[in-house]
């Protein structure tokens, strides 16, 4: 990819993460977090698509799993500790953008298990 595309994609992903942080700042508990799952999903969907195109395959793979979880939550499914999941996801995605070699495998495994429980 061109340097210009990578810069634009990086800016878009950072913006999506910032939007998630803003939305999350008003979530006081799991119920509030679940009620905003569609907003989180909108941003995770952007990250899912852009990250692999700019060489952030690990981030893209995680965002794809998170996106699937958030779709299920938007459809009315629930999971315990939703607030913690979103908080951890935002923090980890931010770290991944700052340090591309960040290992998301443990978080991917945990999020995949949540996804399985929602199916």
pLDDT tens per residue, range 13-60: 999 999 999 999 999 999 999 999 999 999 999 999 999 988 899 999
Tell me: the pLDDT tens digits for 66-106?
Answer: 999 999 999 999 998 899 999 999 999 999 999 988 999 99
d(CA 39, CA 26): 12
| pLDDT number for residue 1 | 63
Cα 109 to Cα 12: distance, rounded to the nearest angstrom: 26
Fold of 3-118: 1.20.120
| Prediction pTM value | 0.93
């Amino acid at each position: 990819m061109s340097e210009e595309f990578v810069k634009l994609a990086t800016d878009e992903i950072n913006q999506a993460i910032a939007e998630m942080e803003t939305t999350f700042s008003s979530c006081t508990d799991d119920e509030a977090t679940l009620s905003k799952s569609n907003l989180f999903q909108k941003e995770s969907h952007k990250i899912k698509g852009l990250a692999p195109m700019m060489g952030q395959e690990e981030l893209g793979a995680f965002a794809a799993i998170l996106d699937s979880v958030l779709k299920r939550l938007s459809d009315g499914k629930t999971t315990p500790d939703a607030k913690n999941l979103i908080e951890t996801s935002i923090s980890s995605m931010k770290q991944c953008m700052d340090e591309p070699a960040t290992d998301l495998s443990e978080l991917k495994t945990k999020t995949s298990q949540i996804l399985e429980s929602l199916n």
